[in-house]
Amino acid sequence: MRNLSIFAALLVCACAAVSSAQDNRVFDWTPANSETIPLEPASLHAGRIYHPAAGGGNMHVQIDSRYPVTVAMVWADEWDAAMRNPEAPPNFSFLCLKEHVTSSIYECHLPSERAMILTFRDERRPQKPVVATIGVILGPGARPFMSPNDLHIQYYSWSCVNNCVLPCFEWRRILNEKYEITPAPKVYSLMTPDHDDQELNVKIKSPIPLTVALLPSHLADQVYDKTVSLSDALGKTGCKERGVQSMSFHCSFNVANGTQTLLILPDIDVSGHKKANVEVKTVKCVDHCELLPAPPNP
C-alpha cells in the first residue's frame, strides 16, 4: 500500500459557523454597567441608547427607585429633536410605558433597527407648577423642593453563560494529486476523524469511469490484499460513488469509524497512460480541540 504524505492548506475558516448540533452554548441576561441618578420632582432622565439589529431586539434592566417613576422607551430621533428645541412642548411616541415603578425588572421588545432611548420620569409633583417643556423638565427650572429621588439603573446584556468556548473548525485540504491510473486499486490513508459527523469533500476528474469509496482503513487493506471483495467492502460504507469521471461529493463520518482510507479503482480496462486528479478536503478542529468529546473506548 502506498501512503501519501498528508499536507494541510487552509481554505476557509468555519469557526464562526459551527453547526447547531455542536453549538450548545447557553445565553442569559448578565449584569453590565449601572448608574444612580438623583431625580428631581417631575424631572425626566434619559438612560442608555439602544441600537437594535435589523428586525429589532429585546432589552432588560433592573430599576430601583426611592419614589415612583414612569419608565418608557422613546425613539432616539424624537428625543434628539426635542433636545434641539427645548422650549417647544415635547412630542414623544412612548413604547413599553410602565408607571409607578419603584423596584422592577423592565423589559421591552424594540420593534426595528430604529434607535431608542430608555427614559425615566419622576412622578412626584413639584410644589410650584411648571410649564411642560423639555427645557423646564430637564433644566434648572425644576429645582428640588423635596428630597431627590435616588434612581438606580442596572443594565443587562444578553451574553453566553455556559459552554461559551467551543472547538474551532476549518476546511483543510489533505490530499491533492495527479496519478497514473492502473488496474490495481489506488489507496490513500487519509486520517482519523477528530469529531463526529466530520465532513469530507472528494473531487475527482478522470478520463475513464472510476469507483471511489471511503472505507475504514482495515477494510481497505483487505480489499487491496484481495482477502475481501470490493463488492462486500462497498456494502459496508455509505460514502461511495461508481462511474465517476468528473464529480465533487460530500461524506461525513464519526470518530468510532477509526482511520479512514480513500480507495479508487477503474471501472473498465485501462489502456495507455491515463491520469486522474484527486483532491480531498475536510473540516478539522484547529483550536480548543480539548473540548471535543472523548473518543469511545475500543
What would the pLDDT profile of 1-13 be if each residue is shown by its tens digit? 333 333 333 333 3
Q: Looking at the structure, tell me whether residues 154 and 63 fall in a common domain.
A: yes
Q: Looking at the structure, tell me whether residues 182 and 199 fall in a common domain.
A: yes
Q: Report the number of distinct structural domains present in the chain.
A: 2
Q: How far apart are CA 60 and CA 294, in angstroms?
A: 38
Of 161, 193, 210, the one marking the end of a domain is 161
What would the pLDDT profile of 245-287 be if each residue is shown by its tens digit? 999 988 888 888 889 999 999 999 988 889 999 999 999 888 8
Q: Note whether residue 129 is domain-resident.
A: yes
Instruction: Quote the pLDDT of residue 225.
Output: 85
Q: Is the pTM of this model over 0.75?
A: no
The boundaries of the domain holding residue 210 are: 9-16+168-286
Instruction: Quote the pLDDT of residue 129.
Output: 55
Q: Note whether residue 21 is domain-resident.
A: no
Q: Are 122 and 41 in contact (CB under 8 A)?
A: yes
Q: How far apart are CA 283 and CA 169, in angstroms?
A: 6
Nearest-CA neighbor of 237 among 224, 254, 225?
Answer: 254
Q: Looking at the structure, tell me whether residues 117 and 174 fall in a common domain.
A: no
Q: Looking at the structure, tell me whether residues 156 and 80 fall in a common domain.
A: yes
Q: Note whether residue 294 is domain-resident.
A: no
Q: How far apart are CA 231 and CA 87, in angstroms?
A: 88
Q: Note whether residue 295 is domain-resident.
A: no
Of 161, 182, 200, the one marking the end of a domain is 161
Instruction: Quote the pLDDT of residue 10.
Output: 31
Q: Note whether residue 229 is domain-resident.
A: yes
Q: Are 292 and 252 in contact (CB under 8 A)?
A: no
Q: Looking at the structure, tell me whether residues 154 and 183 fall in a common domain.
A: no
E strand map for the chain: 9-13, 26-39, 44-50, 57-75, 94-110, 116-122, 149-162, 168-180, 186-191, 198-216, 240-253, 260-266, 275-287
Q: Note whether residue 36 is domain-resident.
A: yes
Q: How far apart are CA 233 and CA 47, in angstroms?
A: 68
Q: Looking at the structure, tell me whether residues 82 and 144 fall in a common domain.
A: yes
Q: Looking at the structure, tell me whether residues 134 and 110 fall in a common domain.
A: yes
Instruction: Quote the pLDDT of residue 11.
Output: 33
Q: Looking at the structure, tell me whether residues 65 and 38 fall in a common domain.
A: yes
Q: Note whether residue 85 is domain-resident.
A: yes
Instruction: For residue 266, list its beta bridge partners.
Output: 210
Show the CA angle centred on residue 148, arms to residues 142 and 151, nearest 5°.
Answer: 110
What does DSSP assign to residue 146? S
Q: Looking at the structure, tell me whether residues 34 and 155 fall in a common domain.
A: yes
Q: Looking at the structure, tell me whether residues 86 and 149 fall in a common domain.
A: yes
Instruction: Quote the pLDDT of residue 164.
Output: 83
Q: How far apart are CA 227 and CA 231, in angstroms?
A: 12
Q: Note whether residue 291 is domain-resident.
A: no
Of 161, 178, 201, the one marking the end of a domain is 161
Q: Looking at the structure, tell me whether residues 41 and 137 fall in a common domain.
A: yes
Q: Which parts of the chain have pLDDT scores under 70?
A: 1-23, 127-146, 295-298
Instruction: Quote the pLDDT of residue 2.
Output: 35
